[in-house]
Amino acid sequence: MIKNSLLLFAFLLFGSLCFWQCSAEKKTEMAENEVVEKDLTRYPNEDSELALLMRGMYEDTEKIQKALKEKRLPEDFREKFKKMHSAKPTKPEVKDAAFEGMGNHFLDKVNAVYEAKTQESQVEAFNLMVNACVSCHQVVCPGPIKKIKKLTI
């Protein structure tokens, strides 16, 4: 009984930390039209290496999406995305075996985008890559999911 409530407590604590950490992203989404405020709320000094990398990855994925829509070859971000394994997160406990597994799964999907031979299969691979962003976020950081899903072609 005590064990169960401890587990529940730990679960709730973890959940609320995730919520706190990732709800900042929702605020910036709402303020997206208020141009001046945006940079201040998006780039406060205490942001972790991983959070900064992720923000960059979001923008890079937008660039890949744009290139594919225009039937151009996307810029190669593979080396940059690999840094997610070494970048320091806001909460160290996020970087566990599950993160590593989901991270590798994601990087495989990124590879597939660059290895696809036709425009059609590249778009397909790209959508699977975006799904892999979402899968990891469902576990570690649900805040930006809605925004990430919009990257799908």
Amino acid at 8: L
Q: Is 64 in the site for ligand HEC (CB under 6 A)?
A: no
Question: Which residue stretch of 8-16, 32-40, 67-75, 130-138 sits at the interface with ligand HEC (rule: CB under 6 A)?
Answer: 130-138
Query: Hey, what long-range contacts does 25-30 have (CB within 8 A, 24 or more apart)?
Result: 25/143, 25/144, 25/147, 26/143, 29/146, 29/147
Question: Which residue stretch of 5-13, 29-37, 44-52, 65-73 sits at the interface with ligand HEC (rule: CB under 6 A)?
Answer: 44-52
Q: Is 51 in the site for ligand HEC (CB under 6 A)?
A: yes
Contact pick of 6, 90, 113, 150 for ligand HEC (by CB under 6 A): 90
Question: Which residue stretch of 9-17, 68-76, 99-107, 120-128 sits at the interface with ligand HEC (rule: CB under 6 A)?
Answer: 99-107
Looking up tokens 């590249």 gives 122
Number of residues that bind ligand HEC (CB under 6 A): 25
Instruction: For residue 88, give every residue at least 6 positions away whose Cβ sits within 8 Å of its Cβ, in sequence order, or none.
Output: 48, 49, 50
Asked whether the beta carbons of 151 and 65 are under 8 A apart, the reply is: yes
